[in-house]
Amino acid sequence: MPKIIDNLDQHVSGAVTHYWSTRKTQRERQKKRGVNDAGLRSAVTGGAQMDGFINLFTNLILDAGIDRRFVFQKKSLELPGFFRPTKEWDLLVVKNSHLVAAIEAKSQVGPSFGNNFNNRTEEAMGSALDLWTAFREGAFNGGVQPFLGYFFMLEECQASKRPVRVKEPHFKVFTEFAGASYMKRYELFCSKLVRERHYTSASFITSDSDAGIKGVYKEPANDLAFSNFAKSLSSHVGAFAK
């Protein structure tokens, strides 16, 4: 039986289709109930739109030889933190009382890219700091460092591609941020998460609501390609298969 990683694009496309179709279904149900959930926020409160990606990560892990009983999604997702009691991740691999992998999967659709960008970046950086500090303090029984993964899908639209002005009342921002769109900002953010070793690997893809329902997606940066993320994840967890 062929492994998922050998036909990865098809599986990522399926997860993208699941995302947009689930989001559409959630909004239609809310309209029927007469609920106006802060406009497009309905895509967030529904919660199930990222399931296609979580299932894809899970299947990659299973393909690498990890038994399903060591993979956690939907429940038992809490890990101890250093600055807070616990943090709930989107997917965990825990084997023989050791943390093998933890993955965070997020997305954003318009129109409030500005506020949500700040929230997403602060959350991701804080989660990484909390986990690595807890790891240093022996929270996960020591051993090999876990795989820490970050996946993000952004809606590709005019608002996310438009250059954004920055305020510089006292000091100049780093040149890469000058006039950068929110799409470019997310790309830079994900790259820097890995470069500064806050996360083992990160993947960043974009998709628009019309073509996305057919599974169409883009990868703005080669270093953040889903295939790189998948290979890194598979290689790490595969070492714990036996």
Report pLDDT for 42: 42
Residue 86: strand pairing partners: 80
| Total count of residues recorded for the chain | 242
Question: Residue 185 is encoded by which pair of tokens?
Answer: 């900002």
Q: What is the mean pLDDT of the segment spanning 132-157?
A: 94
Q: Which of 32-41, 189-198, 201-210 has the lowest mean pLDDT?
A: 32-41
Tell me if 208 sits within 8 A of 23, measured CB to CB: no
Q: Does residue 218 surpass a pLDDT of 60?
A: yes
Average pLDDT, the chain: 91
Domain coordinates of the chain in residue numbers?
4-238
Q: What is the pLDDT of residues 102-117, one digit of tens each?
A: 999 999 998 888 888 9
* Helix, strand, or coil (residue 200): coil
Contacts of 35 (CB under 8 A, 6+ apart): none
Report pLDDT for 18: 96
Contacts of 51 (CB under 8 A, 6+ apart): 18, 22
Question: b or e along 88-116 (b: 16 or more beta carbons within 10 Å of the residue's beta carbon)?
Answer: ebbbbbbbeeebbbbbbbbbbbbeebeeb
Distance between CA atoms of residues 169 and 151, nearest Å? 33
Question: Residue 58 is encoded by which pair of tokens?
Answer: 């899970």
Distance between CA atoms of residues 167 and 157, nearest Å? 23
Q: Give me the phi and psi of 93, to 5 degrees please.
A: -125, 115
Instruction: Residue 158: name the closest of 110, 116, 194, 125 by CA.
Output: 110
Question: Residue 138 is encoded by which pair of tokens?
Answer: 């022996």
Q: What is the mean pLDDT of the segment spanning 38-51?
A: 60
Please report, for residues 40, 52, 75, 105, 231, the alpha-carbon distance to residue 47 in angstroms, rounded to integers and kept in the order given: 13, 12, 14, 11, 27
The residue behind tokens 């409160």 is 45
Please report, for residues 56, 82, 105, 189, the alpha-carbon distance to residue 229 in angstroms, rounded to integers and kept in the order given: 12, 27, 12, 16
Q: Does residue 38 surpass a pLDDT of 70?
A: no
